[in-house]
Amino acid sequence: MIARTRPAPPHLALAEAEALLEKQPHLALNKVDAILRTAPGFPPAEFVAARALRRLGKAKQALQKLDALARANPRVPAVLWELGELAAESGDNPRAVAALQALTGLQPGVSQGWFLLGRALRATGRADQAWRADLSGVHASSRDPELLKAAVLMNDGTLEEAEAALTARLARLTDDPPALRMLGEIAWRRGDMTAALAHVERAVDAAPGFDLARDFLIRLLMQTNRLPEALTHAEALSESPVPMPGHDLILASVLVKLGHQERARGIYERLLAAQPDQPQVWQNLGHVLKTLGAQSPAVEAYREAVTRQPSMGEAWWSLANLKTVKLGPDDIAAMEAALASLDGQDEERKEDVFHLHFSLGKAYEDAKDYPSSFAHYDKGNALRRTMVRHDADSFTAEVRAAAQAFSAAFIAGVDAGGCPAPDPIFVVGLPRSGSTLVEQILASHSQIEGTMELPEMMMIASRLQSRVDEGEFADFAAMISSLTPADRTRLGAEYIERTQVHRQTGRPLFIDKMPNNWQHVGLIRLILPNAKIVDARRHPLSCCISGWKQHFARGQTFTYDLGEIGRYYRDYVGLMADFDRAAPGAVHRVIYEDMVADTEAQVRRVLGYLGLPFEQSCLEFYNNDRAVRTASSEQVRQPIFRDGLEPWRNYGPWLAPLIEALGPVLTDYR
C-alpha cells in the first residue's frame, strides 16, 4: 500500500501562501485554491486569493472576491484597504471612495487611509471633500508614534537620525505626505533648498489638501524667488475649506513681493474690518500704503499698530522711517516707556529693542538733541550687529578677487557672447546714496519701467561663486575665464527671463535697483553686454552716516558699525575705479550732490548715456505714482530739496572710526 502525503493544516498552508504572495503570487494562488477546495468560502483564504490575483494583474477577478468579502465582513479594515486601493488603481473611483470611507470610519487614527480617500475623492471631482480628507490624514499623523519620534529627533538637531527614520518609513509608505514634508524641513535646516523643495513639492502633490505643507512650500518658493509658483500655491491655499487668517497673510506677502500692492492692501483691509485688534496686520497695511505713496493712511495704520502694542518696535521704526514724519515729545515718552518695559528681555525681544533705539535716534535727531540721538543710534546698531554676520576681511578679499578677474586684459580678450538684450538698467551704489532718486527720475521716462531691488543678478553671482567654494575652480578668475560664449549667453538670458515677472508696463527698458550689484559690474558686462550701469554715489560721510542711521529689513549687514561701513565704502569705490580703468565708459556715474545742485544737467547726462531723449517728466518725478519700496520712498515723492545734504555734521564729534576707515577715499571719492 502506497503512503499518501497528508495535506498541511489550513492555517499552515495559508501562512505558506502569504509568504509567497510578493515574489511568487501564482504559487500563493495555487495554495489557497487547494484550501478553498476543502473549505469553500473560507474568508482568510479568499482574501489571500484576491491579493494574489491583484498581483497577477487579474484586477477584475480580484475585485469580485474583495467585493464579496467586504459585503460579508464590512468591519475588517484589511479587506476595505485592499478593495479601496485596487478600485482606485482600476479607475473605479466610486467603489474606492465607498470602501475608503468605510475604512476611515473604522480606523480614523490611521493617516494613510485618509490620504487614499482624498485621492479617490479628488478623482471623482469632489475636491472640497478630498481636501478635508487630506486634513484628516494630517491630523491623524500628528499622533503617529513613528512621526513623533522623527520630529523630536529633528527638533533636537539630530538630523541624520531623523532622516534615517523618515527614509525607512517612506520605503514602506511611498509618498507619505507628513514624512516628505519633514524631510523637506530637514533639508531646509541644512541649507539644501533644492532637496527641500523637491520633498515638499512631493508632499503637496501626494496630498493637495495638506495646508501646512503648502504653506511651507510657498515660503521655500519665496526664498528662492520663484514668485509666480508661490502665488499659484498661495491662491490655492486661500481656497482651503478650513480658512485661516494666516492663509490670507501669506498670499498678501507673495503679492507684495510681486509688486501687486493694491491687491495686498485689499486683503489687509478685509482682515482688519473683521478683526481690528491685529497690530501686525496694521503694520503690514502701513507698509503697503507707504509703498503706494498713501502717506497719511500709512501713518494712521502704523499708529494703530503701536496703540494696540506700544512695544512693537518695528511699527515705531516704520513711522520714523517715513523720513517726512517727525516723532514729537509724546512719541518719545511712549517709546522710552516701551523700552523700559522691555528691560531685561533683550534676548527675547531683541528686534523690538533695537527698532526702538533706531526710532528714538530719529526722534531725538528731529528734536536736534544730537548727543541723545547718537546714543540711541549707537545702541541700536550695536545690538543689531550681534545678530548679523559680516566679515570685513573676507569681503575685501572678494572685492579684490573680482577686480583681478575683470582686468582690462581679460575684458579686451572676451569673445562674442552674452545675451544681447538691451533692456536692463542697473542702478548700483551704496544704500542711502541717492539711488532711489535716480531710479524715480529714470522711471518717469516713457521708455523706462521702474521695478524694485531685484535679487536675480546676486543669485546668479552666488551660484557661480559656489563653484569656487566647492573646489571646482582654484579662484574666481579661473571660474569666470571658464565661461564659454554660450554659457554667458545662457546666464544673461536667464536673468532676462527671471526678471520678466516684475515687468508690468510693456516699456522696453527696466531698472534693477539692487544697490549691491556694484560688486557684479564685471559679471553684468560679461553676460549682458548691452545693459547699462548707473553708479549713484554720494559724499562718503553723508552716505555712510545715513546708512548707519538706517535699519534695513534685510541684508546690508555692513551698516551696523561705523568702521565697517567706512571700509565697505572704500571697497566699493576701489572696485568701481578698477572697473573704470578696465572698461572706460561702461559705467555712468551720478554724484548725488551734483544732481541736487543742477538736476536738469545731470538728468540730460544720464539720459544721453542711456541713448534716450530728454523728457520733462523726468524733472517732475515727484508726480510719478509708481510703488516705491525703499527707505527713501517718501522723499522721492517731493521735489529735490537741498536740506540734509550733509547729515554727518550733526554727528561730527563721534565719527573718528568712520573717518579712519575711509582713509584717502574721504577726499578722492569722486
Is the model's pLDDT at 627 over the cut of 60?
no
| 442 and 368 within one domain | no
Asked whether 81 and 113 are in contact (CB, 8 A), the reply is: yes
Contacts for 69 with CB less than 8 Å, ≥ 6 apart = 43, 46, 47, 50, 76, 79, 83
Per-residue model confidence as pLDDT tens digits over 146-174:
999 999 999 999 999 999 999 999 999 99
Confidence of residue 624 (pLDDT cuts 50, 70, 90): low
| 291 and 177 within one domain | yes
Confidence of residue 325 (pLDDT cuts 50, 70, 90): confident
| 179 and 55 within one domain | no
Q: Quick check: is 2 in a domain? A: no
- What is the structure's pLDDT at 12? 79
Last residue of a domain, one of 340, 370, 385: 385
Is the model's pLDDT at 6 over the cut of 70?
no
Q: Quick check: is 151 in a domain? A: no
Least confident of 370-379, 597-606, 641-650: 641-650
| 376 and 496 within one domain | no
- What is the structure's pLDDT at 7? 55
| 459 and 358 within one domain | no
Here the CATH number for the domain that contains residue 575 is 3.40.50.300
Is the model's pLDDT at 320 over the cut of 50?
yes
| 168 and 131 within one domain | no
Q: Quick check: is 126 in a domain? A: yes
Backbone dihedral angles phi then psi of residue 669, each to the nearest 5 degrees:
-65, -25
Q: What is the mean pLDDT of residues 192-196?
A: 94
Confidence of residue 14 (pLDDT cuts 50, 70, 90): confident
Is the model's pLDDT at 413 over the cut of 60?
yes
Confidence of residue 37 (pLDDT cuts 50, 70, 90): confident
Here the CATH number for the domain that contains residue 56 is 1.25.40.10
Q: Quick check: is 391 in a domain? A: no
| 167 and 116 within one domain | no
| Joined grid coordinates for residue 438 | 535716480
Q: What is the mean pLDDT of residues 44-53?
A: 87
Q: Quick check: is 190 in a domain? A: yes
Q: What is the mean pLDDT of residues 613-636?
A: 69
Confidence of residue 638 (pLDDT cuts 50, 70, 90): low
Is the model's pLDDT at 15 over the cut of 90?
no
**More confident site: 29 or 119:** 119
Q: Quick check: is 33 in a domain? A: yes
Nearest CA-CA partner of 635 in 322, 300, 364: 322
| 425 and 359 within one domain | no
Q: What is the mean pLDDT of residues 269-295?
A: 94
| 169 and 132 within one domain | no
Residue ranges making up the domain that contains 326: 160-385
Query: How many domains does one find in the chain?
Result: 3
Residue 449: beta bridge partners? 510
| 485 and 568 within one domain | yes
Q: Is 342 left (phi over 0), alpha (psi -120 to 50) or beta?
A: alpha
Q: Quick check: is 153 in a domain? A: no
Side chain identity at residue 510, one-letter code: F
Q: Quick check: is 424 in a domain? A: yes
Q: What is the mean pLDDT of residues 582-594?
A: 95
| 179 and 136 within one domain | no
